[in-house]
Amino acid sequence: MDKLSVIIVAAGEGKRLGRETPKAFVPLGGKPLFAHSLLAFDSFPETGELFLVVAPSMTGKAIDSIGSMNCQHEVTIVAGGEHRWQSAESGVRACNPDSDWVLIHDAARPFITHEIIAALVEKKPAFRCVITAIPENDTIRRIDGDLCLETVDRSSLIRVGTPQLFHQQTLLKAFNRAPTLANPPTDEAMLMEHIGIPVGYAPGDPLNFKITTEKDLFLAEALIAQKK
């Protein structure tokens, strides 16, 4: 069984959350936000090595936090970059080069489950890049200022999330394309597309939502309280 290199990206400032503390370190359910996803991957049977990418100023805080978590795997702390893709690249370049596959996950999505991860891993024989996604259920319209335009056919739309699975050496080649793009890529699957790699997808879970605002954090706390 191939072991996976897992990278949890936790280097963002999270300005929309309105906290002085970087988002990944904001408490959720009594522990840092990043801890929820890190522990989920730590207990996943196919995890081989585990990396946490944080802002350079937060490396000490990350080490202290992880020291009290009793992880099964050694967690390597990696300093992130200015943009998300740079943080992800730093994590990938820290991986064992003999590891064929890497999983990249946003620390801001705390409700990751083994079922979601396993669904991605099952796609390895068919793709070198697999994203997590859920169907779009809401009515979607285009807009122009305050004016609503046509309704978009949602049957062919999905909401993209993380984790995402990549063939490591192919992704390293894709990172070379990032500096040439007009805008920073929002995820690594975009980079794979730019070098002609087909992107597959596996089913995610609507509860694995991204913590972006204070309302999201409130909902996350309510979910954790319900589970308890």
Question: Average pLDDT in the 20-34 region?
Answer: 92
Question: Average pLDDT in the 59-88 region?
Answer: 94
CB 112 within 8 A of CB 103: no
| pLDDT at residue 207, rounded to an integer | 95
- Alpha carbons within 13 angstroms on the beta-carbon side of residue 192 total 20
The yes-or-no verdict on residue 70 having pLDDT over 60 is yes
Helices (H), the chain: 33-42, 59-67, 84-93, 114-121, 168-175, 188-194, 214-227
Question: Average pLDDT in the 161-185 region?
Answer: 93
Nearest to 194 by CA among 180, 204, 213, 210: 180
| pLDDT at residue 41, rounded to an integer | 98
Q: Give the count of domains, the chain.
A: 1
Question: Average pLDDT in the 189-217 region?
Answer: 95
Distance of CA 134 to the CA centre of its chain: 15
The yes-or-no verdict on residue 155 having pLDDT over 60 is yes
Tokens of 166: 């990549």
Q: Which of these ranges, 30-34, 114-118, 135-139, 193-197, has the smallest mean pLDDT?
A: 135-139
Nearest to 78 by CA among 50, 106, 107, 54: 54
Per-residue buried b or exposed e for 44-64, using 16+ beta carbons within 10 Å of the residue's own CB:
bebbbbbbbbbbeebeebbee
Phi first, then psi: what are they for 7, rounded to 5°?
A: -120, 120
Model confidence at 228, in pLDDT bands (50, 70, 90)?
confident
Tokens of 34: 């990043």
Tokens of 195: 């070098």
pTM: 0.94
Compute the distance between CA of residue 159 and CA of residue 145 in angstroms, rounded to an integer.
Answer: 23
Compute the distance between CA of residue 34 and CA of residue 36 in angstroms, rounded to an integer.
Answer: 6
When the pLDDT of each residue in the chain is averaged and rounded to a whole number, the result is: 93
Model confidence at 16, in pLDDT bands (50, 70, 90)?
confident
Domain region containing 175: 4-227
| pLDDT at residue 1, rounded to an integer | 56
Q: What is the CATH number of the domain that holds 59?
A: 3.90.550.10
The yes-or-no verdict on residue 216 having pLDDT over 90 is yes
High-pLDDT (> 90) share of the chain, %: 83
Question: Average pLDDT in the 75-97 region?
Answer: 95
Cα dihedral 13/217/71/5 (nearest 10):
-60
Model confidence at 2, in pLDDT bands (50, 70, 90)?
confident
Helix/strand/coil for 110: coil
Distance of CA 212 to the CA centre of its chain: 13
